[in-house]
Amino acid sequence: MGVTENLAAIKNTLPPTCTLVAVTKTHPVETIMQAYDAGHKVFGENKVQEMRSKAEVIPADVEWHMIGHLQSNKVKHIVPFVSLIHGVDSIKLLEEINKQAAKIDRVVNCLLQIHIAEEESKFGFSEEELDYLIEAYSREKFSFVNIRGLMGMATLTENEDQIRKEFKQLKQHFDEIRTKNIDGLQFDILSMGMSADYQIAIEEGSTMIRVGSAIFGGRTYH
């Protein structure tokens, strides 16, 4: 099947509470435009330069989501136009986003990335770091960021029980923070699930999935 058919097939399985982020990394503009022409306007990139170059030529009515690891020195390049930064994995990064957003008087939507996988290579706050940030959170200090929820990646494994356990863990953190009703924390997005595991993620309460290869096919790395 082609991009349009893949996109339709996935959307037909999604509950109305779940948003699909079509992950476009390494795919050319022509391929992305097939999804856009089919009516999809939420796209994700994991590299700043690639997102910027695509945003310059793809229609301006799309939402760009930064889903990869974001270095502090690259923040200023995406703050003017990014719709949601998924991978905020340190207080330092959150402070830099707030600082750069303040310069242009724009509030930037963010998700806190939580380390739930057993793989050491994954980024994200630990449970202890998350608790500290939430307890110390001040709307006055972070007036130019809007923390919308959590993001996490499960271990890359075929063990569905483990994947489900990790997603349950993330949903539990999400629910616990929501019940605290902290001023300034909107907390309405739980971003978990990719091409290989998004169906499990949805069953465990995901409100946003990040799907690339299941829509656009295998990636070409240069």
- What confidence score (pLDDT) does residue 185 get? 86
Check if the beta carbon of residue 204 is closer than 8 Å to that of residue 168: yes
Radius of gyration of the chain (CA): 17
- Cross-strand bridge partners of residue 44: 23, 65
Burial per residue of 101-137, b for 16 or more beta-carbon CB atoms within 10 angstroms, e otherwise: bbeeeeebbbbbbbbbbeeeebbbbeeebbeebbeeb
Question: Which sequence spans correspond to the domains of the chain?
Answer: 3-216
Check if the beta carbon of residue 86 is closer than 8 Å to that of residue 191: yes
Residues of the chain with pLDDT under 50: none
Closest CA to 198 of 36, 4, 22, 57: 22
Q: Which fold has domain 3-216?
A: TIM Barrel (3.20.20)
Over residues 83-105, the pLDDT tens digits come to: 999 999 999 999 999 999 999 99
Tell me how far apart the alpha carbons of residues 104 and 191 are, in angstroms, rounded to a whole number: 27
- What confidence score (pLDDT) does residue 183 get? 82
- What confidence score (pLDDT) does residue 208 get? 98
- Cross-strand bridge partners of residue 112: 88, 150
- Cross-strand bridge partners of residue 4: none
CB atoms within 10 A of CB 18: 18
The pTM assigned to this predicted structure is 0.95
- What confidence score (pLDDT) does residue 15 get? 96
- What confidence score (pLDDT) does residue 70 get? 97
- What confidence score (pLDDT) does residue 45 get? 97
